[in-house]
Amino acid sequence: MALIDIRSLTFEYPGSLEPIFHDLDLQLDTDWKLGFIGRNGYGKTTFLKLLMDEYSYQGTITKPLPMTYFPFSISNYNVMTLDLLETLQADFELWRLQREMNLLEVGEETLYRSFSTLSGGEQTKILLALLFAEEERFLLIDEPTNHLDTHGREVVAKYLESKKGFILVSHDREFINSIVDHILTIEKSKVVLQRGTYDTWEQNKNLEDQYELEQNQKLRKELRRLKQSAREKAVWSDKVEAAKTGSGPVDRGYIGHMSAKMAKRSKAINKRYKETVDEKEKLLKNIETIDKLQMNVLNHHAKQYVNAEDFTIAYGSGHVFEPIQFVVEKGDCLVFKGGNGSGKTSIIKAILGKDVPWQGRLAIAKGITISYVPQKFHSVNGNINDFVDEEQLDKTKFFTMLIKLGFTRNQFEIPIENFSMGQKKKIFLAKSICEEAHLFVWDEPLNYIDVISRIQIENMILEYSPTMILVEHDRRFIDKVATDIIELSK
Ligand SMILES: Nc1ncnc2c1ncn2[C@@H]1O[C@H](COP(=O)(O)OP(=O)(O)OP(=O)(O)O)[C@@H](O)[C@H]1O
Ligand SMILES: [Mg+2]
């Protein structure tokens, strides 16, 4: 056991309005399997890069071991895999790499193929094997699941569970839950470390939120009472003021004295009111609220929105998967699962009327409006305002959605290219949620998306029952929202 010792760490990106870390003290044990979660853009990747000494910062970070960051930055994919690995990490021993690859269920022959020909899942597994091929290192593993299918996630989860000495950033609850023994979270105003796993964190968070919500409720009641009493006092002192200038046998001196006293009291009440508001604001800071999302689901008269029979995709000679049948009716949420390359995105494209070679029967109800979130999103120039103009979005609606998804107003001004991956993905997801449509077609919508937003999206789907076709690998999500699951087999 050794300690990574972080003292008074302060860091902000040049030109940004607020620091990402302020005076952070943290001690981490190099024997831990540390899960690292937090909303998109809160600074998880930044923290790992600080540990890698990629940026200059204030404070000190003492590291007892050298560290390696995953994913590696790779400039050329068109080289033999083994050659590529040697450029990434010079001094590993081949037998060790092979041992790790074996545990991760990747064939050795992949080492002698061009890296560009490997599937996303194979690439991820080989690079993970490389991380663990060298000993005496502390590993910083940043979102390894994005290219892994359900089976791949299970294999990698079992693998990482058997290892130790790493920080793992992941938004996949099932995945992270089965691996880690400690959890680090970045919240709005603090970084919190606790023993346990994702479920422990979620339970604690629910309890804490419940407590803080109750506190807030109490405060709100008190605020109401204070407001009411401030109003009554004001009315009373107005009346007294009016009486002072009115006619009749009154003791003006006495009333003037009372009125001044009331004004003083009213001031004191206002002060107390303000203090209570401040206190409430401080409290609110610590709640990472799971705001409700709204969506506009259009109603179509057709009962069946999509109907497919004997349907398959055929590139060249063979079928990509065994022919399937499916029907999507109003309110259904159909989820396609399947390994890398099993044809999920191709089905989506066929449904969208894009040019893919499909066979069989595929009927889409006439006049259906589809809202689509692609798996791979295109890069966007400019800031969010430019995006709103370009896509002709309803600005208020779109901004409200982004804020509920965890953005701050400051971020609307910065170039989108500086956004974290999750923040970029959220722009496209938010756009679709704001759109009015009959059918929502989302291809791996949760890649890069943080845990809180996953919960928000689940709740929204359960509340609005939109008609949906999804490709997704997040098991907890599928368990909650799917009305039908189709597993593609080759
Ligand atoms: N070069 C930069 N200049 C200015 N701001 C930046 C820059 N790089 C990142 N940021 C901002 O810093 C914040 C933290 O980014 P970071 O990539 O660390 O987030 P993250 O927690 O890893 O998010 P995700 O879960 O989406 O991966 C974000 O709000 C991002 O917009
Ligand atoms: Mg990140």
Other C-beta atoms within 10 Å of 221: how many? Answer: 10
| In-domain check, residue 435 | yes
* Cβ 146 under 6 angstroms from ligand 1: no
* Cβ 332 under 6 angstroms from ligand 1: no
Distance (Å) from CA 261 to ligand 2 centroid: 58
Q: What is the reported pLDDT for 282? A: 60
Distance (Å) from CA 76 to ligand 2 centroid: 22
Query: Token pair 């109907």 is at which residue?
Result: 307
Q: What is the CATH number of the domain that holds 377?
A: 3.40.50.300
Q: What is the reported pLDDT for 461? A: 97
Mark whether 357 and 403 lie in a shared domain: yes
Closest Cα to atom 4 of ligand 1 = 13
| In-domain check, residue 156 | yes
Mark whether 46 and 173 lie in a shared domain: yes
Mark whether 450 and 379 lie in a shared domain: yes
Distance (Å) from CA 40 to ligand 2 centroid: 7
* Cβ 426 under 6 angstroms from ligand 1: no
Mark whether 193 and 208 lie in a shared domain: no
Q: In ligand 1, which atom is closest to the CA atom of 423?
A: 26
Query: Which of residues 197, 222, 256 is at a domain's end?
Result: 197
Of the residues 420, 446, 450, which should be mutated to test ligand 1's pocket, given the most ligand atoms within 8 Å of the CB?
Answer: 420
* Cβ 385 under 6 angstroms from ligand 1: no
* Cβ 453 under 6 angstroms from ligand 1: no
Ligand nearest to the CA of 449: 1
Averaged pLDDT, groups of 10, the chain, 490 residues long: 96 88 97 97 96 97 97 95 94 95 96 92 95 95 92 96 98 97 90 95 87 76 73 70 59 67 74 69 61 95 96 87 96 92 91 94 97 88 93 95 93 91 95 97 96 96 97 95 92
| In-domain check, residue 293 | no
Mark whether 28 and 101 lie in a shared domain: yes
Query: Which of residues 149, 172, 197 is at a domain's end?
Result: 197
Mark whether 423 and 274 lie in a shared domain: no
Mark whether 110 and 154 lie in a shared domain: yes
Q: In ligand 1, which atom is closest to the CA atom of 42?
A: 21
Question: 154: helix, coil or strand?
Answer: helix
Q: What is the reported pLDDT for 18? A: 85
* Cβ 416 under 6 angstroms from ligand 1: no
Other C-beta atoms within 10 Å of 420: how many? Answer: 18
- 280 contacts: CB under 8 Å, gap ≥ 6: 216, 219, 220, 223
Mark whether 222 and 270 lie in a shared domain: yes
Mark whether 445 and 374 lie in a shared domain: yes
pTM score = 0.83
Mark whether 165 and 42 lie in a shared domain: yes
DSSP per residue over 374-402, as a string? -SSPPP--S-HHHHHHHHT--HHHHHHHH
Residue pair 305/365 in contact (Cβ under 8 Å)? The answer is yes
* Cβ 339 under 6 angstroms from ligand 1: no
| In-domain check, residue 267 | yes
Q: How many domains does the chain have?
A: 3
**Cβ burial 325-336 (10 Å sphere, 16+ → b, else e):** ebebebebbbbb
Residue pair 143/448 in contact (Cβ under 8 Å)? The answer is yes
**β pairing state of 182-186 and 324-329:** unpaired
Of the residues 21, 45, 51, 168, which should be mutated to test ligand 1's pocket, given the most ligand atoms within 8 Å of the CB?
Answer: 45
Q: What is the reported pLDDT for 245? A: 60
* Cβ 266 under 6 angstroms from ligand 1: no
Mark whether 449 and 355 lie in a shared domain: yes
Query: Which of residues 285, 314, 349 is at a domain's end?
Result: 285
Q: What is the reported pLDDT for 331? A: 95
Q: What is the reported pLDDT for 249? A: 56
Mark whether 312 and 456 lie in a shared domain: yes
**Which residue stretches of 299-394 are H helix?**
344-351, 384-391
Q: What is the reported pLDDT for 217? A: 77
Task: Tell me the residue range of the domain where 357 lies.
Answer: 304-487
| In-domain check, residue 339 | yes
What single-letter amino acid sits at 319?
A: H
* Cβ 425 under 6 angstroms from ligand 1: no
